[in-house]
Structure 1
Amino acid sequence: MSAPVARILVIDDEPQIRRFLRISLAAGGYDVVEAGTAAEGISRHLDTHPDLIVVDLGLPDMDGQDVVSRIRARSETPIIVLSVRAGERDKIEALNRGANDYVTKPFGIGEFMARIRATLRARNAPSSLSAPFTVGPVSIDLATRKVSMSGAPVKLTRKEFELLRLLVVNAGRVLTHQYLLQQVWGPAHLNDSHYLRIYIGHLRQKLGDDPADPKLIVTELGVGYRLVDEPR
């Protein structure tokens, strides 16, 4: 029996963008539903029960940030924001409102499709991560707290492992600096972003992830970090 086809709702007021995404997503095996306004998108979300939503922020009848909030208030459907707004403030606001990822226009369709696959995998992953998480040569067993690279054990400090655990549990999803600092160091350290840079650097070094071209722990500039769950 073949796997069920994932349905993706695209909310964007630009017909050419919707057409491009419809063709690309259909070629990737997805069922595509379209909406040109916020009101239509919210209605189609209720009617079609999509597996994932792609939403633009510059909609004619409502800001896309409010669309994210309204959908998240009633549903855990994954949301990827696709917008020309490239500012740090917009990205952080969208993620804080409940978006799972943020992609800026213009965008590469290859990376965009990879982010869709990663977001859908995270949604469908079992709640218990009893099996080791593996990407490339790196294997992470959260149950036993063992990490290895190409079969060789990797020794992590307690905070390094806790940081890596958060990234694994949310693989494919952007985690903001503030979220990681609060979870690992506590609310008193929300402005201590240098802690985060240092520990991410340690993890990359120990896991063989080139900081100049990271393939495992990716920096979302000005926003946070994302663990890639499939090798580029």
Structure 2
Amino acid sequence: MARLLLIEDDPAIRHPLLQALRERGHAVAAVATAMSGLQAVLDNRPDLVVLDLGLPDLDGLELLRMLRAVNSTPVIIATARDDETEIIRGLDSGADDYLVKPFTAAQLDARIRAVLRRGTGPAGGPPVLAVGELRVDPGGRRATLAGTPVELTPREFELLHYLASRAGQVVSKRELLTEVWQLPYGGADKTVDVHLSWLRRKLGETASQPRYLHTVRGVGVRLAAPGEDPTRGGPVAGEPAGGDR
């Protein structure tokens, strides 16, 4: 059973969805405004937030940015905004998934379970990944650099974990959009670039002076330990050996 917070101002949507999610075994609280949602997250620390964007007191994207500034609670945006630009803005702002209205409670429940599964591993826990002094613990959803915790949003952690699991390989942006953002239809490279920029800052590096994250222009990115040759050979993950695009 997950503890959910539903932030939705329309009672015609909020009440049926609240009831349907409870019938599916979740413990659900619901609020109708952005600021009451922010307070509920800080006070109750739900497992996941379902967030509408069209709120009466504050745009949902602004609330999402406020949430990301203080904690890493998973967030699924559930909104009528279906423009691709809006979807990318939502994901770039830190959302873990984006669901366009109208949708069924069963669809939302499936998305909730999928997002929550990303934070759990099999019995005994998956192994901690080590790249130089960087440690990525998928079971605990933690990352440390030289023993110091690295504070990451859920999406940043998933990006770092995916790259760490393929350390030494060049991973294409197309693959990252498919596997990390779950956008099989593709998406804007800027989505990846923005998150890589945030990740670099938190790892204490820049694109011009990389330590762990090495950009291969026109292809993708490679995570490698400092001191390793970032130009060494190897196929691009998700591409045929010797391929380029």
TM-score by length of 1: 0.59
Cα root mean square deviation, aligned: 3.9
Aligned residue in 2 for 1:109: 105
Residue identity in the other structure for 2:88: I
Aligned residue in 1 for 2:92: 96
Aligned residue in 2 for 1:28: 24
Which of 36, 43, 65 is the matching residue for 1:69?
Answer: 65
Residue identity in the other structure for 2:113: R
Deviation at 1:89, TM superposition (A): 1.3
Distance in 2 (alpha carbons) for counterparts of 1:159 and 1:113: 34
Compared CA separation, residues 20 and 188, structure 1 to 2 (3 A): farther
Which of 13, 20, 40 is the matching residue for 2:9?
Answer: 13
Compared CA separation, residues 81 and 127, structure 1 to 2 (3 A): farther
Residue identity in the other structure for 1:41: G
Secondary structure, aligned partner of 1:186 = strand
Q: Aligned residues, how many?
A: 168
Secondary structure, aligned partner of 2:46 = coil
Compared CA separation, residues 161 and 201, structure 1 to 2 (3 A): closer
Q: 1:134-145, aligned counterparts within 5 Å? A: none
1:186 aligns to 2:215 (yes or no):
yes
Residue identity in the other structure for 1:39: M
Compared CA separation, residues 79 and 127, structure 1 to 2 (3 A): farther
Distance in 2 (alpha carbons) for counterparts of 1:129 and 1:162: 24
Secondary structure, aligned partner of 1:58 = coil
Aligned identity (percent) is 34
Instruction: Say which structure is richer in helix.
Output: 1
Compared CA separation, residues 12 and 118, structure 1 to 2 (3 A): same
TM-score by length of 2: 0.56
Distance in 1 (alpha carbons) for counterparts of 2:183 and 2:39: 26
Structure 1 stretches of 4+ with a deviation exceeding 6 A read 142-145, 160-163, 171-175, 181-185, 199-203
Aligned residue in 2 for 1:52: 48
Distance in 2 (alpha carbons) for counterparts of 1:93 and 1:171: 13
Distance in 1 (alpha carbons) for counterparts of 2:11 and 2:170: 47
